[in-house]
Structure 1
């Protein structure tokens, strides 16, 4: 095996002036866990939704899970830019996430309400990250502000679509 293939990932010293990178990375990792779980749930609802609003919900959830997948990469890369390792265990992501899984197949309306609530939970976590990073890491703060805006808009759109 080539020596190039024997290199394992490890923490790196990145000195950009960010204080307490471990705490910031932990906050980002929690958001990453929620983002990944919400991405999967959104994708599962996309596959399984039925009813008269099928097309609307199917298309909205597709746009949302694609956006969440891209966001997960940005969040993980921010953790690496801070010099720490991004999570690589699905078990860990599941344990850290505040996003739940329904016990039974929900109705289309329940799917919309469930996803809206999850987007709100993620926005709350991002608001906490914004408060934590405001004075110590403006780059992560900016990322969290942008992500929070996406989740707030998603919750509004999902709830608006679910009105009778």
Structure 2
């Protein structure tokens, strides 16, 4: 029984020795890094609050002027970026406008062609011509190209 107690004491003593040993180098480095990062977080949070204008008390005139210059420079960068975005959007809108103007010009040319064909056929206005062509049971004359014109226009078929 005495031997068992001695062995227990011996093992317990070893465990105590292990817990009393200094921390490993890796653990010390980790703790140091954690401490440095915590300090940096506190500093950056304080700096952010100053930039937001929340913690200005205790700053002297020079620090306030430095903060003002920093904010002015930041505002300039924000304005520049905003203007660049506006310029891109304006360019895109101009491109769309030009495309729509081209399409509009093409539609006018097609309308003029229809007016000429309607005049030559004596059918009145182009809309009447298209309606007559689309609703007639007889196929249009192939030599007049009227069906080809209505197909090129992509005009809707009138539904009754």
**TM more than 0.5:** no
RCO greater where, 1 or 2, for CA within 8 Å and sep 6 or more?
1
Name which one, 1 or 2, has greater alpha-carbon Rg: 2
Normalised to the residue count of structure 2, the TM-score between the two structures is: 0.24
